[in-house]
């Protein structure tokens, strides 16, 4: 009786033995632009121009400022510029952006006609993620609660390089939000903003110094990259200084855009820098959720 021939086994490649890991190097672009108040079509055309500039610069992830499609101080114009997340304008921009991922700000018409100050991630030719601003400033010149509904959820966005967190302007002034995103695993938080400037005695506008203090402390305490994209220009008597910047995990300023002029800030970041810092500084691993109290909130009211 003849023995049956042995089946020849194909040696396994290293990719079959070890699962593929997602890339961690990406080129981020911050489109520090001005916009025309209430003119969505004009602003969409300008977004297309900056998308092409970013493509020529090799950008993988492009971020625009808060309410970049509409302008900020909309007031009674707010309902006129609102659109659903699947609007033709957003789909046109998403298709034009391929293969880039693009983050931009718009007025979202949500459920039951509620309007939101929102940011959308455009990915693979379609809107893929929405963040609705959670904290709506309504003091001084700000009147957001009169025209917008506050968001109620904090989610992470999926990118080829990992998870991304988004916080819109005032959201970053509530540090528990960035902490929650970091604990959930993000190594990158992007902050689209339309923050009016304040002039002080220093070289930088006083308002910008506050923003860099905030973004650097976030990057240090939450051991993640922070990319802040600020608007420039004038609108209804307020000026927007720009000063977009990228902060490395640990709080080091990597790049800063010029003040008071439109600019595409491009920086290469490695998300592994966050992993390396978290190995040396395991603040997130030590986070506790069992601490109770205090039992009273501001002005003697119940703690929230």
Structure tokens at 170: 């005032």
CA dihedral sign of residues 214, 167, 208, 48: positive
Structure tokens at 75: 């007031």
Overall fold of domain 24-278 = Nitrilase/N-carbamoyl-D-aminoacid amidohydrolase (3.60.110)
pLDDT tens readout for residues 94-118: 999 999 999 999 999 998 899 999 9
Q: How many CB atoms lie within 10 A of CB 228?
A: 31
Domain ranges of the chain: 24-278
Q: Please give the mean pLDDT across all residues of the chain.
A: 91
* Residue 301: band (very low, low, confident or very high) from pLDDT cuts 50, 70, 90: low
Q: Is the pLDDT assigned to residue 17 strictly greater than 90?
A: no
The average pLDDT across 60-86 equals 97
Higher pLDDT, 300 or 170: 170
The whole-number pLDDT of residue 198 equals 72
The whole-number pLDDT of residue 14 equals 46
Higher pLDDT, 16 or 209: 209
Which residues have a Cβ under 8 Å from the Cβ of 58 and sit 6 or more positions away? Answer: 27, 266
Percent of the chain with pLDDT over 90: 79
Gap between the Cα atoms of 178 and 184, Å rounded: 10
pLDDT tens readout for residues 175-192: 999 999 999 999 999 999
pLDDT tens readout for residues 248-275: 999 999 999 999 999 999 999 999 999 9
Q: Estimate to the nearest angstrom the gap between the alpha carbon of 172 and the chain centroid.
A: 10
CA Rg value for the chain: 22
pLDDT tens readout for residues 81-91: 999 999 999 99
Higher pLDDT, 295 or 127: 127
pLDDT tens readout for residues 278-297: 999 999 999 888 999 898 76
* Residue 42: band (very low, low, confident or very high) from pLDDT cuts 50, 70, 90: very high
* Residue 207: band (very low, low, confident or very high) from pLDDT cuts 50, 70, 90: confident
Gap between the Cα atoms of 63 and 68, Å rounded: 10
């Amino acid at each position: 009786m003849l023995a049956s021939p042995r089946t020849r086994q194909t040696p396994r490649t290293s990719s079959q033995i070890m699962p593929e890991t997602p890339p961690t190097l990406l080129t981020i672009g911050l489109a520090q632009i001005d916009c025309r108040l209430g003119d969505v079509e004009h602003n969409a055309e300008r977004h297309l121009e900056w998308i092409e500039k970013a493509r020529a610069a090799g950008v993988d992830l492009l971020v625009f400022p808060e309410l970049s499609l509409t302008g900020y101080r909309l007031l009674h114009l707010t309902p006129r510029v609102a659109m659903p997340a699947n609007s033709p304008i957003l789909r046109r921009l998403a298709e034009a952006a391929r293969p880039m991922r693009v983050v931009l700000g718009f007025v979202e018409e949500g459920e039951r006609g509620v309007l939101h100050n929102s940011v959308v991630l455009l990915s693979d030719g379609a809107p893929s993620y929405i963040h609705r601003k959670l904290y709506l400033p309504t003091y001084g010149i700000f009147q957001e609660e009169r025209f917008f509904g506050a968001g109620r959820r904090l989610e992470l966005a999926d990118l080829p390089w990992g998870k991304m967190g988004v916080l819109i302007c005032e959201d970053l002034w509530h540090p528990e939000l960035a902490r929650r995103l970091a604990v959930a695993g993000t190594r990158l938080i992007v902050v689209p903003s339309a923050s009016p400037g304040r002039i002080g005695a220093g070289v930088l506008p006083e308002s910008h110094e506050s923003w860099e203090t905030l973004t650097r402390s976030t990057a240090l305490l939450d051991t993640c990259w922070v990319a802040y994209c600020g608007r420039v220009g004038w609108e209804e008597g307020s000026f927007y200084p720009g000063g977009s910047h990228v902060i490395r995990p640990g709080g080091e300023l990597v790049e800063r855009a010029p003040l008071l002029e439109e600019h595409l800030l491009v920086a290469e970041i490695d998300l592994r820098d966050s992993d390396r810092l978290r190995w040396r500084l395991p603040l997130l691993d030590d986070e506790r959720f069992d601490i109770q109290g205090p039992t009273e909130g501001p002005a003697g009211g119940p703690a929230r």
